[in-house]
Amino acid sequence: MAKQNILLMVADDLGKQLGCYGNTKIQTPNLDQLAAEGTRFDQAYTSTASCSASRSVIYTGLHTHQNGQYGLHNGRHHFTTFDHVETAPALFSQHGYTTGLIGKVHVGPSSVYPWDMRAESDSRDVAKVADQASAFFQDCKKDEKPFFLTIGYIDPHRDLTRSGFGNMEDYDPRVKKTPYKSEDVAVEPFVNDLPGVRFEFAEYYQSISRLDQGVGMVLDELKKNGLTDDTLIIFMSDNGPPFINSKTTLYDAGVCLPC
């Protein structure tokens, strides 16, 4: 039996604000279809509601106190995974897979996470990401090797502004804007119903809809390359939304995630 390809897509700061989880205000047709055709988990939890730590658990199967990635992986915090820990890219590579990562990495060191193809980027241009994924699919198909590809989306993480989610940037024309009005969002039970909160959720929704388009584009490229039936497709988030009582907390909104 041939080895099955694995496509792992990880959203950044996405809670259950998706149509497939009962949100009737947001447009996420591609993720809704993926959920309808696959298995949707209602009680999927992260062990820690922060980016680097959560991703290290995903890639190692170990809690942070076991793998060493206690917190954010950057110059100010210096948290890294222990050198002796086995990680998904290393293990799959040992078993003959071509490994790759596109987008957000945020774990380290690179020697512990030795992806064969590492296209690290903070771009939210989901069409560009899909093009990179397509090129990876084609290379693996030509080499006749199974692949383990991780796509670390930046959406729907906040941008460097207080209330922005990357919606003011210019993207490939294939990426369509999906604007939302403040009065049309579903106010979550973990936040207060205030004008500022509604505004930020409207921006958050637009970022989620852009993410959804990107997932659809990648799945289309997988199909064009004739790889859909031979690929295990996994979509998840690293932690909950970047709002009060959610991300970086142990409340359900922070740790119970789409999968």
CATH superfamily of this structure's domain 5-257:
Alkaline Phosphatase, subunit A (3.40.720.10)
Reading the chain (259 residues) residue by residue, the pLDDT tens digits are 578 999 999 999 999 999 999 999 999 999 999 999 999 999 999 999 999 999 999 999 999 999 999 888 876 777 899 999 999 999 999 999 999 999 999 999 999 999 999 999 999 999 999 999 999 999 999 999 999 999 999 999 999 988 899 999 999 999 999 999 999 999 999 999 999 999 999 999 999 999 999 999 999 999 999 999 999 999 999 999 999 999 999 999 999 999 9
The vertex-92 CA angle with 87 and 93, nearest 5°, equals: 100
> Distance between CA atoms of 25 and 17, rounded to whole angstroms?
9
Active-site residue set = 51
